[in-house]
Structure 1
Amino acid sequence: MIPAELSGRRIAVVNWRDPWHPAAGGAETYAWEMATRFASAGARVHFVTARAPGQKRAETIDAVRLARMGGTFSVYILVLWWLLRRRGRFDAVLDCQNGIPFFTPWVLPRRTEVFCVVHHVHDRQFAVHLPHWLAVLGCFLEGPVSRWTYRRCASVAVSPSTVLAMRERLGWTGAIHIVPNGVSLATRPREPRSPSPRLVCVGRLVAHKRVDLLLDAVGNLRERWPDLTVDIIGRGPEEERLRARLPEGVTFHGYLQVGDKERLIAAAWLQVNASQGEGWGLCVLEAAALGVPTVAFDVDGLRDAVRHGETGWLLPEGTELAKGIATALDELTETCSDRCREWAAGFDWDHSAERLARLLLGLPVSSGWEDGP
């Protein structure tokens, strides 16, 4: 339960996007789940974020006041200006880093508690998504500039992998607390699995997710399992290119409502995540809650979300994905589904919000997750 002391506290959650933004993902889910629970506990919460075309500049949803401004890059300047004009109005700020944080300590008084929330380190992804000069700038802002800016602030990471990456790749020296993702599907009833082999891939269609690797694997897999099918759920800038090379047996579904997404996931034998790295991989927990194990590479975040040999399979980088999936299909048992549900049941948004609230208030945190080194 969130401590009663949070009631009346003025909190700003600063995140690159909100959950209704066309490019929203797991980071937006995390920020919103925290914001709504803080508001339900009586806190006065503002969610400050970018504004996609067609979105309102301001509205209130679930007692959280949204303030939207700017686009992909301009949002950083506009958010700082917004906070500067309200300097001193907030007791705490969650500064969510999606590659580059908002550098909110620059405009806030020292008495305002600032927590830098980091999902994963982006240094290796900047080169995938950005021109060289912009990738270099991104690494500089994520590394030395962030390290200096937040040197007096506590930080929050979503997984042990993120803590390790912050220490080793960013040189982070301040306190880092782990507040994991939750899952909202753990009590959902069982749904029937497809009678024929079926794979599902859920996530943003962006370069570092490496959906190409899954498409490349389909042909080899269908030689052994001719009726194998693949459902890809999500949208993003890579969608048009991926659709142009769609192999037989693969269906792109784009964005789906929660119920439709859950039914497709529950029908799958395996989820496949070929990403080069995540903060955690919320889709792994969501699939596990529905009894579906995940095949992924042994990379940051995913090695925390998948328990190798129990709730899925972790493949060494460089492994041929088709071989890894084939091994998983051969080893798949009903007990694996049961272990997935048990694993996912240990993650709860209420518990995560309680842990984060206690950190904001300077109270001792509950046991179960050790803070980072």
Structure 2
Amino acid sequence: MKVAVVNWRDPWHPDSGGAETYAWQMASRMARAGHEVCFVTARAPGQSRAQTRDGVRVRRMGGVFTVYPLVLLWLLARRGRFDAVLDCQNGIPFFTPWVLPRRTRILLVVHHVHDRQFGLHLPWWLAAVGRFLEGPVSRWTYRGHASVAVSPSTVRAMRERLGWSGPIHVVHNGVTAGPPPEVVRSPVPRVVCVGRLVAHKRVDVLLDAVAELRERWPDLTVDVVGRGPEEAALRARLPEGVTLHGYLPEEEKERLIASAWVHVSASQGEGWGLSVVEAAALGVPTVAFDVDGLRDAVRDGETGWLVPETGSPATDLAKGLAAALDELTREGPDAYNMKCREWAGRFSWDAGADRLMALISGANLEER
């Protein structure tokens, strides 16, 4: 089959995250299976317009907002070329049914519902436009097409908050991280946070919790790995004991995670929580808020701890981290190692890609 994967960014974009990892893992496996795959995406400064990687042709055009009309025009000019399109929604989709023939199989991929997050990133009027496009316009545009969600939380949000009525299939993220050689767990409490530095990830909440935690654990260190628009503001207020690493190569990042006692996510909500399961693959449990996506990625009491948000997020997170560190101090920092690895071992990019390719090929799979 000839397949187009349209996604807001590619994995080499400076603002890429888990959605880009997902789209690329699927695209590269489709190419490996013999399909002709084109990955159509935005172009960051310094990126080439076209290249081929892992057997996938990459075409880049436009910026944050202009990528949408440019991709539609690009597809319109090639409207008879593709048998299937993977339309990846990052807040709003590309609305590819508007320009493609009815015979083209279109599969919408939704990571999480953004309605509550638009206001964190956009002025009120633009946030209202975003919610309108994500809700009624998307629901009407894709009414005759199947959708893919990355977690049960996303399925519920699509049904309850977007009024989605069509078929939704769950295709989980996989895990690529593995145990790096000769990693020694830190002898003192060490917390790691991995993710894009954007408003809804709420890394500032973790920084607010550090002072209280260091009163009990003076040697506590916190490592934050990631980059994004919030980086300068976070660097300006780093408390003692916190290191903001920015981007790290994969092997170095894995070594840092594997040396930690616990991984933490203060996010307001996720589609899944790829960093959570990648940490689990390295034997590291996660403390996270009990919110969409993270409640699917963390098995409370088995691979980490889910924290209810009852008042001040920083106070609630500090209490959750303190309880986790108390338990790990008592039981040992490797207490959750095996359960975490067993949980992460359930998720495979190969299995996810197989399911996705079956859906693209028209297989009538049971929704789950």
Work out whether the TM-score is over 0.5: yes
Alignment match, 1:321: 317
Partner in structure 1 of residue 339 of structure 2: 339
- What is the deviation of 1:202? 0.3
The SS at the match of 1:232 is: strand
Which residue of structure 2 aligns with residue 104 of structure 1? 96
Name the structure 2 match of 1:193: 185
Runs of 4+ more than 3 Å apart: 186-190
CA distance in 2, matches of 1:26, 1:139: 22
Work out whether 1:212 is the aligned partner of 2:204.
yes
Looking at structure 2, the residues matched to 248 and 310 of structure 1 have their Cα atoms a distance apart, in angstroms, of 31
Gaps of 5+ in 2: none
Shift of 1:187: 6.0
Q: Which letter maps to 2:351?
A: H
Q: Cα offset for 1:191?
A: 2.4
> Cα RMSD between the aligned structures?
1.1
Residue 128 of structure 2 corresponds to residue 136 of structure 1: yes
How far off is 1:31 after superposition? 0.2
Q: What is the one-letter code of the residue matched to 1:198?
A: R
- The amino acid of 2:359's aligned partner reads L
Separation in 2, partners of 1:247, 1:324 = 19
Deviation at 1:101, TM superposition (A): 0.2
Q: 1:243-294: per-residue Cα shift (whole Å, max 9, x none)?
A: 1010000001000100010010001100010000000010001000000000
- Runs (5+) with no aligned partner, structure 1: 1-8
Alpha-carbon offset, residue 321 of structure 1: 1.0
Aligned to 1:50: 42
Measure the CA separation in 2 of the matches of 1:63 and 1:183: 21
Contact 1:45 1:65 in 2 (8 A): yes
Please tell me whether residue 251 in structure 1 is matched to residue 243 in structure 2: yes
Matches of 2:252 and 2:10, distance apart in 1: 21
Q: For the structure 1 residues 190 and 350, does the alpha-carbon distance in structure 2 shift closer, same or farther, using more than 3 Å as the test?
A: farther
The within-5 A match list for 1:353-368 is 353-363=353-363, 365=365
Matched residue SS, 1:174:
coil
Percent identity over paired residues: 73
- The answer to whether the 8 Å contact 1:186/1:345 transfers is no
TM-score (structure 1 length as normaliser): 0.95
Contact map agreement 2:25 2:349 (CA 8 A) in 1 = yes
The equivalent residue for 1:159 is 151
Query: Conserved in 1, the CA contact under 8 Å of 2:179 and 2:258?
Result: no
Describe the SS at the equivalent of 2:238. coil
Between the aligned partners of 1:318 and 1:344, the Cα distance in structure 2 is: 29
Aligned residue for 2:228, secondary structure, equals coil
1:94 to 77, 83, 86: 86
Aligned residues: 360
Looking at structure 2, the residues matched to 187 and 292 of structure 1 have their Cα atoms a distance apart, in angstroms, of 11
In the TM superposition, 1:1-373 aligns within 5 A as: 9-186=1-178, 191-318=183-310, 320-332=316-328, 333=331, 334-363=334-363, 365=365, 371-372=367-368
SS in 2 for 1:101: coil
Between the aligned partners of 1:175 and 1:335, the Cα distance in structure 2 is 40
